[in-house]
Structure 1
Amino acid sequence: MLRATTRLQLHAGFTLDDACEQVPYYASLGISHLYTSPVSRARPGSMHGYDVIDHSMVNPELGGLEALESLVARLRQHDMGLVLDIVPNHMAVHPGNAWWWDVLEHGEQSRYASWLDIDWHPGDATLDGKVLAPFLAEPYGHTLIGGGIRLVFDAVSQSHRLDINGVPYPIAPGTLCTAETGPQALVDLYDSSQTQGQQRLHELLERQHYRLAWWRCAPDSINWRRFFEISELMGVRVEKQEVFDAVHALPLRLYEQGLIDGLRIDHVDGLADPIAYCRQLRRALEQRVAARPGPLSEDQPWLVVEKILAEGEVLDDRWEVDGTSGYDFMDQAAAVLHDPAGEPLLTEHWTSIAQDGRPLRDVVHDARRLMLRRHFVAERKGLLRALSGLAQASVYTRDWTTDAIARTLDEVLVAFPVYRNYSQTGRRNQADAECLARTMRAVSAGLGPASDVEQSLLEVLDMWLGASPLVSAEGANTDIQQLQREAIRRFQQLTPPLAAKSLEDTTFYRYGRLISRNEVGSDPSVLGISSETFHQRNIERAGNLSRSLLATATHDHKRGEDVRARLAVLSEMPGQWAQISNKWLEEAQKIDPAANSVQVAERYMLFQTLVGAWPLGLAANDGEGLRLFADRVVEWHIKSLREAKLNSGWFEPDTSYEERSANFIHNLMAGRSSLPLIQDIEQFVDRIAPAGAVNSLSQTVLRLCSPGVPDLYQGTEFWDFSLVDPDNRREVDYAARRHALGMLGADTGIAALIKDWKNGWVKQAVVAALLRLRRERADQFSKGDYFGLPVLGSQSNRVLAFLRAAPEKDMFVVVPRLSSAWVGLGANEGLPLIDTASWEDTCVVLPRRYIGVTLRDVFSGTRLECSQDGVLRLADLLADQPLTVLLPAQG
């Protein structure tokens, strides 16, 4: 039974064989399934596996099929299993990708011409029947004259090909002049060092099925769907049955053979019809259940999707999936540990620093306009062409000009509130209809009455995007309906990358009110949520998605789970934080005066990063430790500058500005004059770190006890102070983790580990105890009900308590929240413990059937009796440890 997963990042430096070595450790920890990054053959040297070049085979760099089989055999010995991440949306454009190579060689005649998502007739004469290859480091002419394009003879295949800056490209059959008999004579004829050779090369390239172009041309001219705006990853048309079969042959075979137990679908919103795809994949898996070996034929396949859910958005029954990959839970578990009461002061402080009082929505809208104008130009043009075609196809809409449609479309795309809709022609569900209606109302209000043309177009645009099937003046028209389907598809495949790149990869690096809320799946405008809201989300999950993944750290997170937990403390002390951060910003001015408010805002987010990610035990006089930390922070900072796209960017990096910023960080961390400032930061971190650790442990318990399948991202059973990738994909010290787990005795309580809490053993002990409990009570966790428990008393807002109910197997969970002011006081100085007296009269109310019943704490074995008035006092529950999970005592 799938109880708990651990996510492992596979690559040439950590292969399937390396994962196999860690199976006994994860079995001892209590994990039921390894959940790995994609294992299909990827580009050589891939560090993540999402750049697949061959869906049909296990990546030889990871050890191939033999290593996969060995890993699964080891897992089965420990009653464990394997879950795979798969990538149906895209593939890497690479010479090793046979589909891509064949398309380059044969164009529209290739069997794969319709497998890859290419627009063969994009309305650009230079690309009619061709695919754009925007991979030149310099403009085409410079590359041609500079010798970057050569004709070469391949002795292995005994054929000629093109070598373009060291990358091989095929030559279309019949396009190479063969008047010269010898292979070398033909190469000499196309010698790029000679003017005539350059001209022949150019003419040869003009006869190919691809058009070489400078990489900067891609946003404006590309005629194939990309993953986001990455021009090395091409969309795959998995909606076609033959493509679906080819992409899924390997994972379906592995599932039927009992080598895997489930799948996580990467970027499902990129597909043409995500819901139909999930239903199709569910059917394909279910058809193979009976053929699985032994008792595996009794289990149903596990299927989750990587999807960002907006507020109020749900995965309904149409999807036929077990849930999401966990970003929604990651947001909720973090938000309930942030204090919403801190919002006014934090907002005021950010406004004064950034000199920008606009709401987050306006910042996001600016980012969306930028992405449309500079990064998704070609995708927007393709959608606009389809909409303009619809306009011209009807006598009622032919007067709408392309420019007017473009202006209106842009406003709709900017205001669109979710990642995407899932409409088909004339078949919108209620959620999609309400979403479009809300968008149109918002756009209408923003346009104002003066924009008569755009106001009138909104209703028409809504119709084009699926409100109703279109007909011509003569009645039903197949061409119009096909064009409408094309417009809907293009719209629905543009909004997800637009949303992701404008919010997660732009706004998150511009808007810095409190960066712990700038996380994948989160809305930074929502600082925190109440216990009641958290309970409601868990109740919904228990009822509909009890096998959904629960994550608090991922390979894609912006900050590690314990960075966010520590920064959450700042929401409880906004006034103090504003005062001390202002002091630091003033000191920073003495080191290197900031040029403008944007740079001051960058530094404010930098100081938050230093506070959140500061390694436990790092001292201000530890030169080597500070240097290593500074290197990590600089790598994060350069990436943040480029993602923000204000003072630098990926397309046009301002390397001088980046170098100055890097020097500032190194001087800040190592300069003699900055030592008092670094000492001040160290002291502040020491002050709030215990409260951050309490938040971390609360978050850990919430993940492991809430309805769903908890995931442990590699290595995060110890403290996780990682930053955005590649920092969050560093090597895991498994020896240290094995040693710590081996030192835990059966009766080792977390109270005994608190005094040395900085080594991370206490967090691992909590994980191990609760995973052991999940193994012992698998049915309770997978099927048990969820009820929020009433909390009474003066500090009731500082407690989150709930019941996981099952016949004769109830479990009570009590964790603190918003308690930083009472952490580490008196005898508990420097420890993640809450002052007992601070709880005053606060108590948790249990069901009446528990009056007088003795309960046992899972972590310590301590026994407590429920009072005659049916309550448990927090001062008793959390006297020696920061949280508790209770079971009815046996005997």
Structure 2
Amino acid sequence: MGAPNLPNAHIPSATYRLQFNAGFTFADATRIIGYLHDLGVSDVYASSYLAAKEGSVHGYDVVNQTILNKEVGDEQSYQAMVEELSRHGMGHILDFVPNHMCIESADNVWWMDVLENGMSSPYAHFFDIDWEPVKKELTGKVLLPLLGDQYGKVLEAGGLQLLFREGAFFVQCYSLPIPIEPRSYLRILQHRLDTLKERFPPDAGPVQELLSIETGLQHLPLPTERDPAQMGERHREKEIIKKRLWQLCQDAPEVMEFIAENVRIFNGSKGDPNSFDLLDQLLREQVYRLSYWRVATEEINYRRFFDINALAAIRMEDQGVYDLTHALLFKLIREGKVTGVRIDHVDGLYDPVSYLQNLQKSAYIQLCGWEPGGEGGNGAEAEYFRELERQPCYQPLYAVVEKILMKGEQLPEQWPVAGSTGYEFLNSVNGIFVDTEAAKQFDRIYDRFVNRAFDFTEIVYQKKKLVMQVSLSGEVNMLAHQLNNIAEQDRLTRDFTLNSLVRAISEVIACFPVYRTYANSASVRDKDVQYIEAAVSKAKRWNPAISGSVFDFLRDVLLLKAPERASEESRRAWLYFAMRFQQITGPVMAKGLEDTAFYVYHRLISLNDVGGMPGKFGTTVEAFHGQNLERNKNFPHAMITTSTHDSKRGEDVRTRIDALSELPELWQKSVMRWSRINKGRGSLIENQRVPDRNEEYLIYQTLLGAWPAGGLDQAGYDAFRGRIKDYMIKALREAKVNSSWVSPNSTYEDAVLGFLDGILEQSPGNPFLREFQPLQRRLSRCGLFSSLSQSLLKMTAPGVPDFYQGTELIEFTLVDPDNRRQVDYGARIEALRELRAREAEIGAQALCRELLEQGDNGRIKLFLIYRVLNYRRQSRDPFDAGEYLPLEAQGARERHVCAFARKGGARTLIVAAARLVATLMPEAGDSPLGETVWQDTVLLLPEGSGERFRNVVNDQQVEAERRDGRLAIPLAALFSEVSVALLEPA
């Protein structure tokens, strides 16, 4: 069989993220595909729509990767959506979740099988379970931290109920029926057996059948059995026994009554603690141990997604797990229904590079048309590896990874992906709208307001340690025991105590500068060596009381510097520890940084977003260009975005708050005055002011950023106030200072909500709103122009621009679940229809002027996106494979523009966008347009770019002129009518 035509990845020109759930289905998506195509989108980028827990609004709580989510739609409606995409020539990227599954759902049949059969379950190896944990009482068991209180209290309150259904027994734990291990059915069926026998003659068939069933149960292989033949026998026989028992109950009502009465007895009686002994004894025999949810912090023995008990990690490094969980995905790829994937939380995988290489190889085989395991499969694999030798970066499938890159960090070069999902671009592009020169002023304003000096690096360090103490101590303890076992093997290290190893591991993780490293063999990447040595060095400096030799030992293990005399088995143990360590540093960083420190440090909250480091005050234009050049060189088709479902604030909220950086004196004056006005609205609890000063500082910035545009009726205002209150409850709990998710302080939270009600009261007696509105209106105007600039830069910089659902209009969303509310697509479809009709009537130039005058409705952003995305889709060369050339401006306003050229083939496009517009607009109704604003400033053009241009945004004609021998465009002319420009040669 000859080699197939080598498939090449479908590269999107622009993606649009859709959140699928019961409220937004395949049918709903089908209805808007035409609109998205008209907008200029090339690919729908879908959240996971594989089977998830009932009621899931995000799809990440997957229960079965092999079927579609029935709440989102059936095969027919899915097919209709795919056909509509095909009709418009659009691609389809699917968010795939390889890390974890939801285990608080009976629909997760693999996990339920594990709970029924323990180590003998055919799916026991699917989940990352430690069957021999440090706590010996859990040997061979799974800790299930599902209870809302101590186990004994829940049991004696009747919170755990035995059930009998279709021949099988379950324990009902809240809404979840958990299977009972079949051999332990004997404890139920043999209870009061004599009373049943008395109801039948000695040799009665029902009694004999029940005794035969009991014999079958007694001979079932144990749940600890791992011999494949015995496991198969157990699986087969237990199902036969259930069917026999259920049939017996149908044939002999007396047996059904007997079992029902025993179930009632086992379920005990409230007020009689001894009556629960039978159920307690039964539960002690299970392959799981039900416990209070707080126990998970220290004793959990299955790996979780971060610290979420309901999400258990799966062992994707196991080929059997990989094959089964990807079966549907590869079927959809083979059929052309899915043209790309987004891999969720790639850092959670045991071995990311091997997984990604496996993914591309599997996609290649599917795209070549061979069935998995079918004839020609081995030939396809051989051809794939030959192609890899010719093209080391060959990727048959467009794949991006959700990966947070810290400052200066790059994706590992051996990863066969198009790039990341764009968090680093989000923070870089947002940062150029922050005035970096105002950093020290904002330090002083913040420190003075909150009456203390915050050091962001110290906050992150402390919060990472807090997370390891209150959420992930079990994971750290597990690592310490593994390291202790390694230490015991060598006489030079065996004297290290377990406690010293726990502390060393915690301190190094707290000092880790990136989310994780990627050692998967005997060698460690140079970059990873630097990260590990930096973390160990910092941990030693910050902890002089801990012996430096303990840190050195940990460093050597992480760097795989085993002694010459080490056995092969010892070397494998070192590598296993290093790879497990890598899986823990990411969750600690995420929980400590994103979900704690970001809610504590409020100097300028627009910088507190996923992938950002708000200790750094903004981004220089030079740094922004540098990132773009790097991306264009290494990952030109990476996703770049400005909002995601994980964003802490929507892009249009951030641009408003960014503008504060240009107005430090006004901000200081305003926030101090607001605080004096609102002093009487706060409360005093245990001699503490509520809200505290730091929380109050957060509230004012949040209100400035999220305040709705235009007028609001009472219902709209009430809805906004409710959203702000919901946000503040989340912020308080994430900060873990005055409340938390683990121990909510309802008294404190209620006082904060009361403060919000007071300052947002619409009455003449509330001077705050009167004082607040002028600055809010000014920031709103600044934010509009910055949002336009940010959108243009995203659509033209190296990479594939991604739009989060609804953000084609100005949207003032906060962190989830606020940013996952249903989008009004009817309004957007109608708005685009009206814009296109109006454009045909009066032209793009006049329409832009009109839309800027009506800025509150956000349609100018929609029009900009429509114009540029459609142009990009028709003229892909400069964007897909073009050069990126940073451009300079000269003149009084040169720092207020970001510009670059995209050169592809014979065409050079010029991109220019206004920035830092607040200082260009002294009054709320101003615009950063015209000669008065831009004065003598010119944009210098690259040679050979031409002299006459058309601005794609509004069809305006622009001419260059010679300045000191160079071609240049006066910004007064370029930005005379709109503050963004995409110029093509006329």
TM-score, normalisation: structure 1: 0.95
- Pick closer, same or farther for the CA change 1:776–1:806 going to 2, 3 Å: same
Q: Is residue 678 of structure 2 the alignment partner of residue 602 of structure 1? A: no
| CA-CA distance at 1:560 after TM superposition | 0.7
Q: Is residue 123 of structure 2 the alignment partner of residue 112 of structure 1? A: yes
| CA-CA distance at 1:457 after TM superposition | 1.7
Of 525, 528, 551 in structure 2, the residue corresponding to residue 432 of structure 1 is 528
- Pick closer, same or farther for the CA change 1:668–1:674 going to 2, 3 Å: farther
1:487 is matched with: 577
| CA-CA distance at 1:602 after TM superposition | 0.2
Q: Is residue 113 of structure 2 the alignment partner of residue 102 of structure 1? A: yes
Per-residue CA shift, 1:565-592, capped at 9, x if unaligned?
0110011111210111111111121222
Equivalent pair of 1:39/1:59 in contact (CA under 8 Å):
yes
Q: Is residue 288 of structure 2 the alignment partner of residue 190 of structure 1? A: no
Counterparts in 2 of 1:229-378, with a 5 A limit?
A: 229-291=307-369, 300-378=396-474
Equivalent pair of 2:606/2:649 in contact (CA under 8 Å):
yes
Q: Is residue 898 of structure 2 the alignment partner of residue 888 of structure 1? A: no
Of 146, 168, 181 in structure 2, the residue corresponding to residue 159 of structure 1 is 168
Q: Which amino acid aligns with 2:572?
A: Q
Of 591, 598, 603 in structure 2, the residue corresponding to residue 508 of structure 1 is 598
1:878 is matched with: 975
Per-residue CA shift, 1:495-529, capped at 9, x if unaligned?
10100001110011110000000001111011111
The RMSD of aligned alpha carbons is 1.9
Q: Which amino acid aligns with 2:436?
A: P
CA distance in structure 1 between the partners assigned to 2:476 and 2:555 by the alignment: 17
Equivalent pair of 1:29/1:768 in contact (CA under 8 Å):
yes
| CA-CA distance at 1:159 after TM superposition | 2.3
Q: Which runs of 5+ in 2 are unaligned?
A: 1-10, 194-254, 372-383, 385-393
CA distance in structure 1 between the partners assigned to 2:148 and 2:563 by the alignment: 45
Equivalent pair of 2:100/2:311 in contact (CA under 8 Å):
yes
1:583 is matched with: 673
Q: Is residue 262 of structure 2 the alignment partner of residue 171 of structure 1? A: no
Of 735, 739, 753 in structure 2, the residue corresponding to residue 644 of structure 1 is 735
CA distance in structure 2 between the partners assigned to 1:190 and 1:624 by the alignment: 52
Q: Is residue 888 of structure 2 the alignment partner of residue 790 of structure 1? A: yes
Counterparts in 2 of 1:382-401, with a 5 A limit?
A: 382-401=478-497
Query: How high is the sequence identity, in percent, across the aligned residues?
Result: 35
CA distance in structure 1 between the partners assigned to 2:689 and 2:484 by the alignment: 43
Equivalent pair of 2:643/2:804 in contact (CA under 8 Å):
yes
CA distance in structure 1 between the partners assigned to 2:395 and 2:168 by the alignment: 52
Of 770, 783, 807 in structure 2, the residue corresponding to residue 716 of structure 1 is 807
Of 819, 830, 836 in structure 2, the residue corresponding to residue 728 of structure 1 is 819
Q: Is residue 222 of structure 2 the alignment partner of residue 146 of structure 1? A: no
1:568 is matched with: 658
CA distance in structure 1 between the partners assigned to 2:264 and 2:680 by the alignment: 63
SS in 1 for 2:580: helix
Which has the higher mean CA deviation after the structures are superposed, 407-416 or 19-28? 407-416
Q: Is residue 27 of structure 2 the alignment partner of residue 17 of structure 1? A: yes
CA distance in structure 2 between the partners assigned to 1:860 and 1:876 by the alignment: 13
Q: Which amino acid aligns with 1:841?
A: D
CA distance in structure 1 between the partners assigned to 2:321 and 2:716 by the alignment: 51
Equivalent pair of 1:57/1:65 in contact (CA under 8 Å):
no
CA distance in structure 1 between the partners assigned to 2:765 and 2:334 by the alignment: 62
TM-score, normalisation: structure 2: 0.86
Q: Which amino acid aligns with 1:690?
A: R
Equivalent pair of 2:637/2:799 in contact (CA under 8 Å):
yes
| CA-CA distance at 1:169 after TM superposition | 1.0
Q: Which amino acid aligns with 1:370?
A: L
| Count of matched residue pairs | 872
Of 847, 862, 867 in structure 1, the residue corresponding to residue 961 of structure 2 is 867
| CA-CA distance at 1:679 after TM superposition | 1.7
Q: Which amino acid aligns with 1:190?
A: F
SS in 2 for 1:123: coil
Of 77, 97, 115 in structure 1, the residue corresponding to residue 87 of structure 2 is 77
Of 906, 909, 915 in structure 2, the residue corresponding to residue 811 of structure 1 is 909
Of 939, 942, 947 in structure 2, the residue corresponding to residue 844 of structure 1 is 939
Equivalent pair of 1:56/1:249 in contact (CA under 8 Å):
yes
CA distance in structure 1 between the partners assigned to 2:124 and 2:370 by the alignment: 35
1:855 is matched with: 949
| CA-CA distance at 1:671 after TM superposition | 5.5
Counterparts in 2 of 1:46-57, with a 5 A limit?
A: 46-57=56-67
Equivalent pair of 2:118/2:124 in contact (CA under 8 Å):
yes
SS in 2 for 1:22: helix
| CA-CA distance at 1:289 after TM superposition | 2.0
| CA-CA distance at 1:489 after TM superposition | 2.4
SS in 2 for 1:287: helix
Equivalent pair of 1:225/1:235 in contact (CA under 8 Å):
yes
| CA-CA distance at 1:836 after TM superposition | 2.6
| CA-CA distance at 1:482 after TM superposition | 3.5
Which has the higher mean CA deviation after the structures are superposed, 351-360 or 511-520? 351-360
Of 761, 772, 775 in structure 1, the residue corresponding to residue 859 of structure 2 is 761
Equivalent pair of 1:791/1:843 in contact (CA under 8 Å):
yes
SS in 2 for 1:35: strand
CA distance in structure 2 between the partners assigned to 1:316 and 1:607 by the alignment: 41
1:462 is matched with: 555
CA distance in structure 2 between the partners assigned to 1:144 and 1:631 by the alignment: 37
Which has the higher mean CA deviation after the structures are superposed, 418-427 or 878-887? 418-427
Per-residue CA shift, 1:517-542, capped at 9, x if unaligned?
00011110111111111111111111
Equivalent pair of 1:757/1:831 in contact (CA under 8 Å):
no
Larger radius of gyration: 2
Q: Which amino acid aligns with 2:622?
A: E
| CA-CA distance at 1:672 after TM superposition | 3.5
Q: Which amino acid aligns with 1:505?
A: D
2:222 is matched with: none
* Dislocated runs of 4+, deviation >4 Å: 194-197
SS in 1 for 2:354: helix
Q: Which amino acid aligns with 1:236?
A: I
- Pick closer, same or farther for the CA change 1:89–1:618 going to 2, 3 Å: same
Equivalent pair of 2:636/2:798 in contact (CA under 8 Å):
yes
2:204 is matched with: none
CA distance in structure 2 between the partners assigned to 1:588 and 1:12 by the alignment: 42
CA distance in structure 1 between the partners assigned to 2:763 and 2:495 by the alignment: 70
- Pick closer, same or farther for the CA change 1:631–1:188 going to 2, 3 Å: closer
CA distance in structure 1 between the partners assigned to 2:406 and 2:815 by the alignment: 22
CA distance in structure 2 between the partners assigned to 1:835 and 1:679 by the alignment: 32
SS in 2 for 1:213: strand
| CA-CA distance at 1:646 after TM superposition | 0.8
Q: Which amino acid aligns with 1:645?
A: K
- Pick closer, same or farther for the CA change 1:166–1:850 going to 2, 3 Å: closer
Equivalent pair of 1:842/1:874 in contact (CA under 8 Å):
yes
Per-residue CA shift, 1:693-752, capped at 9, x if unaligned?
111101000110111111111111100210111111112111211111112224323223
SS in 2 for 1:410: helix
CA distance in structure 1 between the partners assigned to 2:519 and 2:463 by the alignment: 26
Counterparts in 2 of 1:672-711, with a 5 A limit?
A: 672=763, 675-711=766-802
Equivalent pair of 1:823/1:834 in contact (CA under 8 Å):
no
| CA-CA distance at 1:369 after TM superposition | 1.3
Equivalent pair of 1:819/1:834 in contact (CA under 8 Å):
no
CA distance in structure 2 between the partners assigned to 1:42 and 1:723 by the alignment: 25
- Pick closer, same or farther for the CA change 1:673–1:486 going to 2, 3 Å: farther
Per-residue CA shift, 1:28-75, capped at 9, x if unaligned?
111111111101100001000000001100111110332222101001
| CA-CA distance at 1:150 after TM superposition | 1.9
CA distance in structure 1 between the partners assigned to 2:690 and 2:944 by the alignment: 60
Equivalent pair of 2:118/2:287 in contact (CA under 8 Å):
yes
Q: Which amino acid aligns with 1:325?
A: T
CA distance in structure 2 between the partners assigned to 1:175 and 1:541 by the alignment: 59
